[in-house]
Structure 1
Amino acid sequence: MGSVVIPIQESKRDDVASEPKKSFRSYVASVGFVREGRSKYDMRKVIHSIKVGIALVLVSLLYLVDPLYNEVGKNAMWAIMTVVVLFEFFAGATLSKGINRGIGTILGGALGCIAAVLAQQIGGVGNSVLVGISIFIFGAAATYSRLIPSIKIRYDYGSMIFILTFTLVVVSGLRAEQVMDVARQRLATIGMGFGICIFTSLLVFPNWASDELHVSMATKLEHVASSIEGCLEEYFMSGSDKEKQGSNSCKNCKSVLHSKSKDEMLANFARWEPWHGKFGFSYPWNKYLQIGENLRELAVTVVSLRSCLESPRQPTKDLREPMREPCRAVVSTLSWALNELRESIMKMKKFQGGPEVLPKLKAVRVELTLLTAQVGALQKDEELAVVSFVFLLTEIVEKVEELGKEVEELGKLARFRAL
């Protein structure tokens, strides 16, 4: 079974290795990108707030306009409650909660009406017994379903609404025809609120969770690349230079480590979103989650590499100097490869490995192995520190290869365009 490898252009590798200040420029570019992203996010928050205000005004017309109030009456409050509860920042989240609420309300209301009708026909003590039994059975079953992980991720809200609606309808104590009438009116007003939410969320400057996840995954690749470069530069600095610059090389990398919950949330919302832009139905969002897992494993190794810089027993600067250029060549290769993967995801272009790359990556590993042979004359603690550093670099090379396989598979499943 062949390995997927990462194409490395020799000229780019040499150019990067010959620029000692590249990591600083990458850091400045990353800071600018983050600031630009924050500015856009702040603007989206303002737009979202305005959209919620518009939706509340529209749904309040059910109270403010007499003809509409005469049709729905006091049940208009259910429409207002629906807007307040359903409207989320991402369009996929709004659609997810809306569909869950609709399904839960319809099923809960229908089964509740059936149970109420049967209870009224039995009458007497049997009425209360049947109501209690039905509430116990459906309430316990729906609650158990909320504990199943696959259902909890996507349908937890719908299960909760089902329990609430079913219980309210069954214990209402109204006659069968009144139960049906109240259920119909409330379902109609909830549908009005849902329609206003969907119209405002999906058609007026929508915030797509799919776009957020897509850009976030590409950004994390850039963060890991800049962290690797920062670790290299800091490793070969003198003690005074480290104190002046500070240790910010792994700050962005640590943010990657804490991104799992956000990735899962965005992927769940993205599955509910309709076809828009570059993302169609059945888009492989699970593959994004797998890439995120590989990125977090890579980030863990980078953070471990950072710990080599903090070890109290390190080789002197003179002893580390022969390692500078070989390590810089390795790190520049890794950085360039990660940026290529980022471009592949960001621009949705197929990532294609070249047949000449595997020997180069093997040569990189051999070069790292030779570095450990050069430290044989050092003291034991110094030798261990250098070997640990080189071993972690080798681990990073292997994990970048695995990451390249996942990105290439994503391109096949998502049908990325050819380069």
Structure 2
Amino acid sequence: MPAFVDTAKITVKSGKGGNGAVAFHREKYVAAGGPDGGDGGRGGDVILQVDPHMSTLMDFRYKRKYVAGNGMDGTGKRCSGKDGEDMVIKVPLGTVVRDAQSGQIIADMSNTEPFVLCRGGNGGWGNKHFATPTRQVPNFAKAGLPGQEREVILELKLLADVGLVGFPNVGKSTLLSVVSKARPKIADYHFTTLFPNLGVVYVDEGVSFVMADIPGIIEGASDGAGLGHDFLRHIDRCRLLIHIVDVSGREGRDPVEDFEAINTELEQYSPELAQRPMLVAGNKADIAEDRSLLEKLKVHVEAKGLTFFELSAATHQGVDALMRHAAGLLAQLPPITVYEPNYVPAPPELDTSGDVTIEKVDDVWMVDGPWLQRLMSNVNFNDIESRNWFDRVLRESGLFQRMEDMGVQDGDTVCLYNLEFEYQK
């Protein structure tokens, strides 16, 4: 039996942009061809894509690092370098992506739309960009910017409308096999089910829903006991819970105590989950040795305002009524939860004490430095807050003061990699 893996930590890195080229057009009988160095190619992105055929995160158990391709350098004749190859990572439907450090949600892969997790670095400009009437032979180009790197946690939360909960061996897998085409392993011993199973329940033409059989929860599951703790996350999205309770009395258990024990575990795991709409099914009623146990559970459940069903999944008794009632409730309930991203990237910690080269070439101030590359790759120049942060880092680093000491004037052109701007004091 294949292992079921529903969490994984991976490192992803997008590609570095290629460097711009320094080249000049040379052609017979053309006296002044001019600069024609091409731009570097853009680094490849890291992209998440849902694969409907994947059901676990098993592929990430051994491979933990994913790196996109680097962009190629530009060449002469205004030829741009080839873009780096994207790294496409396939994940199961329902995978939630979190930042490993903060735990914040970056994306919820609950549809087939691809998500760009890390963007590749921009390619550097070739010298063709730097030609002006007063600078006709620019003998310089720009390096490509580095890609992004981050560590993320992938967490699979099943996309199911209905979750079956209850102690081990109460008949959850049997019920799923009866109402859908799912074929979970079924046997008369505890913990037969080792991982969640999904099945589509067809009630009527045009009426269906997805149901998940969650491995048996036991007392202490919310604290890590048993298998249930590992799989409680898979009922987070369920709009409706069906609580299966064994009323046969064959194991000497009290159905009311079992019912309350599971509810306590749900409450301790997530108070919000414990408030989810719930139907209660007293299963194995056909072999009940003491009907008073069933009646006792029914009275207890209905006193809490919950609907109770007498059930025998093995003989199909009461199954149709339970499924139709569930479908009716689902038609009134909100859609399956999709988690909204709440990840706010913290400003990177940059050591601005490193060397920065400042050189005036003709009428342009050229500024280069390793930490400037890292800074540029973390700035969104379409966002005013990001631009303000960029300006603040440059000022606090002392870069602008150095330039003023060297004679930079208002209106002078400053070039930082593939960004040109007019200097203003």
Which one scores higher on RCO, CA 8 angstroms, separation ≥ 6? 1
Quick check: which one's strand share is greater? 2
TM over 0.5: no
Under a length normalisation based on structure 2, what TM-score does the superposition of the two structures give?
Answer: 0.23
Greater helix share, structure number: 1
TM-score (norm 1): 0.23
**Greater Cα radius of gyration, structure 1 or 2:** 2
